[in-house]
Structure formats: structure tokens, C-alpha cells
Amino acid sequence: MDLTVNPRSLLQGEVQVPGDKSISHRAIILGALSEGKTYIHGFLEAKDCFATLQAMCQLGVVIDKLSPGSYCVQGVGLHGFTPSHSPINCGNSGTSMRLLAGVLAGLPFESHLIGDNSLQNRPMERIVRPLQKMGATLYGQERNEKICAPLHIIGNSHLQGIEYTLPVASAQVKSCLLLAGLFSNNKTILIENGASRDHTERMMHAFGAYIDIERNKITLFPSSLKARELNIPGDISSAAFFIAGAAMIPDSHVILRSVGVNPRRIGIIHILRMMGAQIDILNQREICGEPVGDIEVKGGKLSGITIPTEWVVSAIDEFPVIFVAALAASGKTLIHGLDELRLKETDRIQVMAKGLKALGADIEEDEDGVLIQGSLLKGGVVESEGDHRVAMAFAMASLIANDSIIIRDCDNIATSFPNFCTLAQHLGLTIYQHAEG
């Protein structure tokens, strides 16, 4: 499916974005691992989270849909899973594959995790090595000198807790090891060099796990989990397209209701504010251990900046649209420390730079970053290469383009934000879907 987006001069209105993707995956997994029934509301009904939900069903967990976004997970505890008769397909979802690997490492049977082409090219040694240290047996495929999916996991119900310093700031790796740590016979200690999102730690605590956090050191003791009710806030990574789109265009005014504003996810707000954006978080409250608020954005003129590298981790999924905001700003924006961006669903530095250049942007790529000179864009055809966030970021580029943009290969928007086009239209974009070509 392709998208065409017509040029548009501002965004206005109020919307509620769908549930947080990271929290939705964790809700299903921790619900399945706990004893009793976990009720989840605001679950993200998108392909990535359905891959995790389907995986749990294949492992013998009963999950009932109660109403749109509301599910009941009948937890089986740590020891009630049964082997899947067929490989577990994680599709495009790195979070599904890395988190499920942590669970499967501790289950006393063999499992196979498979994924689409994009997922098969993403690095898995970052979970394979530490899980092996914990006593699990895992095999991947060697591809371009990396260990990649498919993964063959021979679980071990007597895993050893380890003390491990994470070589990259990755919530997926951290969560994988914490999940494996639940099955270990002693404590697991993880040391982070960078504050990656902490939804797993918060949710494990809410489910009654013995987890202790002291600055950058997390200690998890073998624990059993108790089912509970969860309300999932809106996903700031989905809201980000409209936050950036509104912030960069004078006279825009957008309110996004009930969005998760976890301090480890709001890098985009810090970055846009530093560029001069007017963004307020209203009605701040805490729901199920996660900070939530309404985000109000009033558009204005942005200025180029050097983005402090300490904000990179908390804005890691937002860089495609931050590149677009940098084009709307006056002057130069310099970003470094983006190595991890090359390892996402696509190499997001390369795919964004190529597409934006096709629209006339002045953008220079280097190994771990970009230099972007503010400029208006022309219309044209851009390739998202099947990357959902790249596709949605290109849609926002229509706000500074003088002609229509055609975005190729947009089906994967359904992995994280199925009603993106409807909400974008509600805020004023003229955006329509059509068959490829």
C-alpha cells in the first residue's frame, strides 16, 4: 500500500493516540507469567502486539477479547506453559522476539522464533550471549557476521542469575534478561550505561516481583507474579508525529489526550522545546505506575540546534520525525550518537536521508548521525522501505512541502499505529491510501 499526502499548512485539533506499544507487549507477557487473571485496557491492537499475544496463545495461554482494546489474560504462572507445535512468528517486531526469547530461555522445552526479512537482519547476539551465560542454549543464523533470527531456543528451567553490564542502552535486551531472571535460581543484576525505557521494571514491580533499582543498577530476585488490572496510556512514539508536525508549523494547535510521559520516553519533548517549541504537559497523573498527561502543542518557528547526546536514548524511535522538524527549523541541526538507529526496522539514518534528499532536503549523513540544514521541500516519491516510523515521518514532511508526497510501501504502519491516517486526517492532513504503483 502507498500513501499520498497533499501539502498542508497546519495541524489543528484534539486526538487520542492508540495504546503504548512497549507497554502492551509487556502487559501480555507479564499477564501470562502471573497467577490469576490480568485485565488489560487500552491494549494496542496492532500487528506487533498481536504477534506477542499470538505467541502466548501458542504457548498454551488463554486470552479473551472483552471489547475493543480490553483483554483478559488467564495467567499460567512461571511453570504452566506448554510447547508450541509450530514456530512462533514475530513478524516485524523486534520487541516480540527479544522479550519472548527471555521467557523461552527459562521454559523446559524447545522453541523456534521466526520473523520477516527486516527482523531477520537485526542483531540478536545482544540477547543470545547473555542468555547463554545464564545457562540457556540458543542458536541463531549467522548473517553479515551477526547472529540473527530465526532463533532456536532450548530452554532450561534452572537458569543462573548473572551480573551483567549492558553493552548498549537497550530496553529490549534489559527486558529479555529480566524475564529470564524470573526463572533463575538466584538474583540477576543488570547495570545500564544509559537510561533506556523502564516499563518492564515498573510493571514487574506492579505485579509483585522483588525488584530493586538503585541508580543504574537493577537487581531482580526470583519472583512469582500476581495478576492485576492494567490501563495502558497512549503511545508517545505515535503521538510524536503530531507533536513534531504541530510544533514546527506556526498557528498549529494540537492536544493529544492521555499519553504516556514516562521520563525515559520524553526526549522528543526536550529536543523540540530546545528548538523553541511550545509544548505543555497538562493534567499529569499516574496510572498503573506510569506517568500520563495530555500534551498541548502550539506551533511556532523552530531553530536548529546541536541535540545533546544524552537525549538520544529517550527519543530513539522519534528521530525520523525529528529529522523532519529539523528541516522545518531555521539554521543547522546536528545529531550524533545515533548508531542504534541503523539497527532498527531499517537503517533509519540512510532511509530517511535518501527520502528527504529526493524531496530536495539538504541533509548530510555520517556514521552515527546527520547534519540537517533547514529548508522547504518539493513534492515527490519516497521509499519507506517497509519501515512504519519512516513512512509516518515522511507524511509529516508534507507540512513543509510545496507539492504532494507519495510514500511507498506503507503497510507496516499497521505494526504500530493502525489508525494513523484517520487521526492525521482529523488534524487536517489530506492523506489517502492506494495500491502500490
Q: Residue from 38, 58, 89, 95 that binds ligand S3P (CB under 6 A)?
A: 95
C-alpha 276/C-alpha 382 separation (Å) is 29
- Coil/strand/helix, residue 33: helix
- Applying the rule CB under 6 A, the residues between 240 and 269 that interact with ligand S3P are none
The residue sitting closest to ligand S3P, measured at its beta carbon, is 22
- Applying the rule CB under 6 A, the residues between 326 and 345 that interact with ligand S3P are 340
CB of 317 to ligand S3P, least distance (A): 5
CB of 196 to ligand S3P, least distance (A): 6
CB of 137 to ligand S3P, least distance (A): 23
CB of 238 to ligand S3P, least distance (A): 11
> What amino acid is encoded at 363 in this protein?
I
Stretch that binds ligand S3P, among 55-63, 84-92, 167-175, 270-278 (CB under 6 A): 167-175
Active site residue 294: no
Binding characters for ligand S3P, 369-408, by CB under 6 A (x = yes)? ----------------------------------------
- Residue closer to ligand S3P (CB basis): 96 or 156: 96
- Residue closer to ligand S3P (CB basis): 22 or 231: 22
Please answer whether residues 105 and 153 qualify as being in contact, where contact means their C-beta atoms are separated by less than 8 angstroms.
yes
Query: With CB under 6 A, what is the number of residues at the site for ligand S3P?
Result: 11
> Judged by CB under 6 A, does residue 201 bind ligand S3P?
no
Stretch that binds ligand S3P, among 8-16, 148-156, 164-172, 365-373 (CB under 6 A): 164-172
Q: Residue from 22, 24, 58, 156 that binds ligand S3P (CB under 6 A)?
A: 22
- Residue closer to ligand S3P (CB basis): 91 or 299: 91
Binding characters for ligand S3P, 171-200, by CB under 6 A (x = yes)? xx--x--------------------xx---
Question: What is the dihedral angle through the alpha carbons of 76, 77, 83, 89, rounded to the nearest 10 degrees?
Answer: 80
> Judged by CB under 6 A, does residue 316 bind ligand S3P?
yes
CB atoms closer than 10 angstroms to residue 86: 8
C-alpha 345/C-alpha 413 separation (Å) is 12
- Residue closer to ligand S3P (CB basis): 220 or 329: 220
Please answer whether residues 233 and 276 qualify as being in contact, where contact means their C-beta atoms are separated by less than 8 angstroms.
no
- Residue closer to ligand S3P (CB basis): 84 or 196: 196
C-alpha 193/C-alpha 312 separation (Å) is 13
Which secondary structure element, helix H or strand E, spans residue 76, and what is its range? strand 70-76
CB atoms closer than 10 angstroms to residue 210: 13
Please answer whether residues 193 and 166 qualify as being in contact, where contact means their C-beta atoms are separated by less than 8 angstroms.
yes
- Which of the residues 2, 235, 317, 387 is marked catalytic? 317
- Residue closer to ligand S3P (CB basis): 322 or 405: 322
Cα Rg of the chain (Å, integer): 21
> Peptide bond preceding 150: is omega within 30 degrees of 0, i.e. cis?
yes
C-alpha 355/C-alpha 372 separation (Å) is 13
* Percentage helix, strand, coil for the chain under 3-state DSSP, each rounded to 5: 35, 30, 35
CB of 316 to ligand S3P, least distance (A): 5
Binding characters for ligand S3P, 138-157, by CB under 6 A (x = yes)? --------------------
CB of 394 to ligand S3P, least distance (A): 18
Q: Residue from 317, 383, 385, 387 that binds ligand S3P (CB under 6 A)?
A: 317
Please work out, in degrees rounded to the nearest 5, the angle formed at the alpha carbon of residue 421 by the alpha carbons of 238 and 66.
Answer: 70
Query: In 232-276, which residue ranges form alpha helices assigned H by DSSP?
Result: 236-247, 267-274
C-alpha 318/C-alpha 243 separation (Å) is 11
Residues listed for the chain: 437
Buried b (16+ CB within 10 A) or exposed e, 325-361: bbbbbeebbebbbbebbebbbbbbbebbbbbbebbeb
Hunting for cell 499505529 — which residue is that? 417
- Residue closer to ligand S3P (CB basis): 111 or 196: 196
C-alpha 90/C-alpha 119 separation (Å) is 8
Q: Residue from 38, 89, 92, 170 that binds ligand S3P (CB under 6 A)?
A: 170
CB of 172 to ligand S3P, least distance (A): 4
- Residue closer to ligand S3P (CB basis): 170 or 333: 170
First vs last C-alpha separation in the chain: 9
Please answer whether residues 98 and 90 qualify as being in contact, where contact means their C-beta atoms are separated by less than 8 angstroms.
no
Q: Which residues are catalytic?
A: 317
Binding site for ligand S3P (CB under 6 A): 22, 95, 170-172, 175, 196-197, 316-317, 340
